[in-house]
């Protein structure tokens, strides 16, 4: 009898310990799930706090505009046939900003766009004054273009989440509105992205809003609509962030006639939510979306990004810079104009020249 009492007591204690253990495990699981939920919404909460009250004091200056297309040799022989109706114009909007890679990336993008007929390039630069060097570069491509100086309002530069490129795109939208552009297709193309030429023939036929995959985005390395039976049914993007339209800026194009039906088209200064809020402002509905790129099975645009390095400082004397018998002075001055590097007489890396495997300072080499 005594043995049975002891046995029952031990068994009851074991059950109590097991029950307590299960309670502790359940509490730990609940705490972990709550932590993950809070973490996933932290970004959107930060954004809402950061941009709860924001001014919209946009400024822009039209630097230069050319409506002449000098790329006639790239077109087919039918372009001069008056009986053929011209294709819709693509208004390709590129936000850019001064940095050492700017000229290289604009050059690469310009060489791509040179192959695209019926395209107007809107380049909006994050500067308060017009950049003549950039303008001369744009002119070389022979593409009809508009060059705008559209600085980001200072209010946003000090924020934790900086809405980069928004002021530039807003300036482009203002140019389209002010110039009464009601037909054609709008596309936002960054200067460091990579584009397949097929993309342009795909988006030119956009009736309302077309969408397509963008490679090298987020943890999935892709951002794309999910297409079911030829219709967009959802989205595959590693940063949903409670966005109604979780897409990348390079992953959609908009017909201007469709956009014109919405009087309050805008892109807010809300980092991470620019695409979502813009598409909301044009009244987009799921049934309006036209999947491109073979039902979103092809990648025609890549979100490539060039590493942004600080421009180096080169120490070199003024006498050598002014020496017209050599190319270095002209070349280094051009690089400084582009923002690629800086020249100093007292600071930075000393300039040297290498010959026959031996390096010498420029001063001793010129003497």
Characterize the bridge pairing of strands 289-291 and 358-361: unpaired
Least confident of 35-44, 81-90, 284-293: 35-44
Does residue 51 belong to any structural domain of this protein? Answer: no
Does residue 55 belong to any structural domain of this protein? Answer: no
Beta bridge partners of 150: none
Shared domain check, 201 and 350: no
User: Cα-Cα-Cα-Cα dihedral of 348, 135, 170, 336, to 10°?
Assistant: 0
Shared domain check, 231 and 343: no
Which range in 46-55, 151-160, 205-214, 329-338 is most confidently predicted, on average pLDDT?
A: 205-214
What are the percentages of helix, strand and coil residues in the chain, rounded to 5? 40, 20, 40
Q: Is 108 left (phi over 0), alpha (psi -120 to 50) or beta?
A: alpha
Average pLDDT over residues 242-262: 97
Query: What's the pLDDT score for residue 29?
Result: 57
Shared domain check, 209 and 102: yes
**Active-site residue list:** 275
Which of the two residues, 217 and 15, has the higher pLDDT score?
217
> What percent of the chain shows pLDDT beyond 70?
78
| Cβ-contact 137, 107 below 8 angstroms | yes
Does residue 192 belong to any structural domain of this protein? Answer: yes
Shared domain check, 325 and 295: no
Shared domain check, 339 and 226: no
Shared domain check, 319 and 357: yes
Longest alpha-carbon distance in the chain: 114
Shared domain check, 317 and 267: no
Give the number of C-alpha atoms closer than 13 A to the C-alpha of residue 332, restricted to the C-beta side.
21
Summarised one tens digit per residue, pLDDT across range 167-197 is 999 999 999 999 999 999 999 999 999 999 9
Query: What's the pLDDT score for residue 9?
Result: 54
Does residue 22 belong to any structural domain of this protein? Answer: no
The candidate with the shortest Cα–Cα distance to 306, out of 142, 96, 67, is 96
Q: Is the pLDDT of residue 165 over 80?
A: yes
Identify the domain containing residue 96 by its residue range. 61-72+87-302
**Degrees, nearest 5: CA angle 51-55-61:** 125
At residue 120, the 3 state secondary structure works out as: strand
Instruction: Write down which residue in 276, 302, 328 finishes a domain.
Output: 302
To the nearest 10 degrees (0 to 180), the angle between helices 42-50 and 2-40 is: 40
We report the CATH number of the domain holding residue 187 as 3.90.550.10
Shared domain check, 269 and 152: yes
Shared domain check, 279 and 196: yes
Supply 178's token pair: 């002010």
Instruction: Write down which residue in 302, 327, 351 finishes a domain.
Output: 302
pTM metric for this prediction: 0.77
At residue 62, the 3 state secondary structure works out as: strand
Shared domain check, 323 and 291: no
| Cβ-contact 120, 92 below 8 angstroms | yes
| Cβ-contact 187, 253 below 8 angstroms | yes
Does residue 329 belong to any structural domain of this protein? Answer: yes
Does residue 44 belong to any structural domain of this protein? Answer: no
Shared domain check, 254 and 326: no
Does residue 81 belong to any structural domain of this protein? Answer: no
Where does the pLDDT of residue 354 fall: very low under 50, low under 70, confident under 90, or very high at 90 and above?
A: confident
Q: Which residues are annotated as a binding site?
A: 192
Characterize the bridge pairing of strands 313-315 and 342-344: parallel
Query: What's the pLDDT score for residue 2?
Result: 46
Query: What's the pLDDT score for residue 10?
Result: 46
| Cβ-contact 44, 241 below 8 angstroms | yes
**Residue 166: its H or E element:** helix 166-178
Q: How far apart are alpha carbons 230 and 82 in whole angstroms?
A: 36
Q: What's the N-to-C CA distance of the chain in angstroms?
A: 112
Domain total of the chain: 2
Instruction: Write down which residue in 270, 302, 334 finishes a domain.
Output: 302
Q: How far apart are alpha carbons 150 and 169 in whole angstroms?
A: 9
Q: How far apart are alpha carbons 141 and 162 in whole angstroms?
A: 32
Chain mean position to CA 250: 7
Q: Which residues are annotated as a binding site for Mn(2+)?
A: 192
Number of other CB atoms surrounding residue 13 within 10 Å: 10
| Cβ-contact 83, 161 below 8 angstroms | no
Determine the length of the chain: 367
Shared domain check, 327 and 282: no
Q: How far apart are alpha carbons 122 and 138 in whole angstroms?
A: 10
| Cβ-contact 247, 237 below 8 angstroms | yes
Does residue 18 belong to any structural domain of this protein? Answer: no
């Amino acid at each position: 009898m005594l043995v049975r009492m002891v046995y029952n007591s031990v068994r009851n204690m074991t059950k109590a310990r097991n029950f307590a253990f299960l309670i502790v495990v359940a509490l730990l699981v609940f705490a972990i799930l709550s932590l993950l939920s809070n973490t996933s919404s932290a970004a959107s909460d930060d954004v809402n706090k950061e941009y709860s009250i924001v001014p919209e004091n946009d400024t822009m200056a039209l630097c230069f505009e050319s409506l002449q297309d000098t790329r006639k040799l790239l077109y087919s022989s039918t372009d001069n046939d008056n009986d053929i109706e011209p294709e819709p114009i693509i208004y390709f909007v590129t936000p850019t900003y001064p940095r050492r890679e700017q000229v290289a990336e604009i050059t690469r993008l310009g060489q791509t766009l040179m192959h695209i007929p019926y395209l107007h390039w809107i380049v909006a630069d994050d500067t308060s004054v017009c950049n003549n060097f950039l303008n001369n570069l744009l002119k070389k491509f022979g593409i009809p273009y508009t060059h705008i100086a559209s600085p980001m309002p200072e209010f946003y530069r000090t924020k934790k989440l900086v809405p980069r490129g928004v002021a530039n795109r807003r300036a482009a939208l203002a140019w389209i509105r002010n110039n009464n552009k009601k037909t054609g297709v709008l596309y936002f193309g960054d200067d460091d992205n990579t584009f397949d030429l097929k993309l342009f023939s795909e988006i030119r036929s956009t009736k309302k809003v077309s969408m397509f995959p963008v490679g090298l985005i987020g943890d999935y390395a892709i951002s794309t609509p999910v297409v079911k039976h030829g219709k967009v049914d959802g989205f595959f993007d590693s940063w949903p962030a409670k966005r109604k339209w979780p897409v990348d800026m390079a992953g959609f194009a908009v017909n201007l006639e469709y956009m014109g039906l919405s009087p309050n088209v805008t892109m807010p200064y809300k980092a991470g939510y620019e695409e979502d809020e813009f598409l909301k402002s044009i009244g987009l509905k799921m049934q309006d979306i036209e999947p491109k790129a073979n039902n979103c099975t092809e990648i025609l645009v890549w979100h490539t990004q060039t590493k942004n390095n600080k421009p180096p400082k080169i120490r070199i004397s003024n006498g050598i810079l002014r020496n017209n018998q050599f190319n270095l002075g002209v070349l280094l001055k051009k690089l400084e104009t582009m923002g690629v590097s800086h020249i100093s007489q007292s600071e930075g890396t000393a300039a040297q020249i290498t010959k026959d495997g031996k390096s010498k300072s420029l001063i001793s080499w010129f003497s």
